[in-house]
Chain A
């Protein structure tokens, strides 16, 4: 077994709820509540869940873009949260992120060349000049863009092209691990396919590892090797792609999979329609957080938090009733 690129151990991120004149702490929004997983070299872990389940916060916390409340993230064995400022500079070259919205994540006042070259100059890898331009061109071409795009501004590009620029910026420092935070969600279907193919090609060419965050289960299925399902800050199921999609064990995963509309009018699938909305993360239900919407919930689910346990072949599930399915 190869060494993991990334190990996440019991990661927690709480945001305090403050109110009143003295800003006293009233409680916490448990955005990420004790999640653990690993990503192997050259592999993609897909993280799915509905809005507000903490998947984006998980991605940002892993990269130390926000400080974690508790837990550990090891990048190639190195503790990311304990790294000094100087060590962090080096780690940042290795770990990059592609954001969701290609419209707001590029500075409108900078040219494409400046956007991609900024990190190279900041990390003192290149000085401004022709060498820098050559490197930027090289990255742009790798992402399916051309040299003459270098002096243009973000508004001159379409959504798909901007997302390519976002990917080029992440690749500039030659990272080995990239967090993709809903990188294709804002794009049209035909453009989505182009960007997904690009990300897969780059992964093969450069040996990248991805943490791919998305709410779209079919996209995640296409790109991932392993998939984790989050609900209200916790991982409820984590398994190899095939196991998760063929034999989902957690009732939430089952409902999520059955809810996707299938592009085939003859296939009328039996839907599991979940009742109600996702509860607030500031005041999550007791016991198993899913029990309020779970069609199988029993007394034990309200009282005790289920353990995230291995059901064989690295298929992890957090459910009291898992043996009964």
Chain B
């Protein structure tokens, strides 16, 4: 067992609004080792993006606040670092790919300007060295005419190309951890296949750890080594990818797996999870999932289950599952 590159313990990120407190991330634990991919799955509003923002130190102030927990990155607690120290880590040791490649590139700067900016700032390269490095990175991510692309603006590129540029930029400082927030959601399937293959290849070559946030279980199955399933700001299941798909335990995970039309099995009806994700301001009593859960008992309505080990390396937060054991 290798050493963890990053360890998140009891992370709590809350937002204070006029209507009340939103517990976007409420006591989340996970760890990632170098060269491994952790998949974080969940539907909109489950707190998966806020978790990544918290690691990057990008929680929007003053409404958002990290209320508790620790984020150990190479034995340093990121939450205790000053803004100055954090800036050295962000974009250098930890970098991020966002979902929307159009809105996350600056439209008034050329691709070259945007990649070299990171290199000049963090790696202290001069302009010429940085431009050379930028072109190398673009070639690495499979862009053929790198020397032309560095002079072009984001609007001249297609969606897939922009996402490659984002990846090139994120990888230009050889980060130890790459956070990819829905990196292929806005892309077509054939382009998605290209990007996923690219990310897998780069991970092996550079030994980068990847934290992959997505709602697509297919992408998780292809990419991840370990998976964390989130619901309403909490981790409901945590297991290796083989274990999760073979032996899913939490009713929510089961529901997610069954509600996706399967290409190999023909079904007349999709099993769905009734109801909707709860309003984060008025979370239900007890287990947050109980109003949508077909196995819910009185206990689920009153008390909140803890994330406990079910078998070695497979954690579930559900009363029903632990009763079976």
Contacts and interface: CB of A to CB of B under 8 A. Distances in A.
Interface of A: 50-51, 158, 160-161, 188-194, 196-197, 200, 215, 217-219, 221-222, 245, 255-267, 271, 273-274, 277-278
Interface string B83-121: 000000000000000000000000000000000000000
Contacts of A50: 188-191
B147 interface: no
6 contacts: A190-B256, A261-B196, A263-B221, A263-B257, A273-B194, A278-B158
Contacts of B193: 258-259, 271, 273-274
Given A197-B272, A257-B263, 5 more contacts: A190-B256, A193-B271, A245-B263, A262-B222, A265-B221
Contact of B272 (A193, A218, A266, A274): A193
A264 B194 contact: no
B270 A265 contact: no
Given A50-B188, A263-B245, A277 B259 contact: no
B43 A189 contact: yes
Contacts of A222: 261, 267, 270
B215 A189 contact: yes
Contacts of A221: 261, 263
A30 to B, nearest CB: 19
A48 B190 CA distance: 13
Interface in B217-253: 217-222, 224, 241-242, 245-246
A261 B259 contact: no
B189 to A, nearest CB: 4
Contacts of B194: 273-274
Contact of A262 (B161, B221, B267): B221
B216 interface: yes
B160 interface: yes
Nearest to B255: A190
B260 interface: yes
Contacts of B262: 218, 263
B306 interface: no
What are the 9 A-B residue pairs with the smallest beta carbon separation, nearest first?
A: A261-B218, A193-B259, A222-B261, A193-B272, A50-B188, A259-B193, A188-B43, A190-B273, A193-B270
Nearest to A48: B189
B111 to A, nearest CB: 16
B217 to A, nearest CB: 4
Question: Interface centre among A215, A221, A263, by most B CB within 10 Å?
Answer: A263
A264 B245 contact: yes
Contact of B160 (A215, A266, A277): A277
A106 to B, nearest CB: 17
A255 B192 CA distance: 12
Contacts of B297: none
Contact of B218 (A158, A193, A196, A262): A262
B189 A256 contact: yes
Contacts of B277: 158, 188
B61 interface: no
A191 B255 CA distance: 11
B261 A271 contact: no
B189 A259 contact: yes
A322 B291 CA distance: 53
A73 B197 CA distance: 42
A190 B272 CA distance: 6
B1 interface: no
A204 B268 CA distance: 12
A263 B220 contact: yes
A188 B273 CA distance: 11
Nearest to A259: B193
Nearest to A194: B272
Contact of A215 (B158, B189, B221, B260): B189
B325 interface: no
Contacts of B44: 188
B276 interface: yes
A259 B255 contact: no
B261 A215 contact: no
Given A189-B259, A218-B260, A261 B43 contact: no
A158 B264 CA distance: 31
Contacts of A273: 190, 193-194, 197
B124 interface: no
B3 interface: no
Given A263-B262, A277-B161, A197 B190 contact: no
Contacts of B190: 50, 255-256, 259, 273-274
B269 interface: yes
A38 to B, nearest CB: 24
A197 B161 contact: no
Contacts of B188: 50-51, 215, 278
Nearest to A262: B218
Contacts of B196: 261
Question: Interface centre among A222, A255, A264, by most B CB within 10 Å?
Answer: A264
Contacts of B267: 222
B3 to A, nearest CB: 24
A197 B270 contact: yes
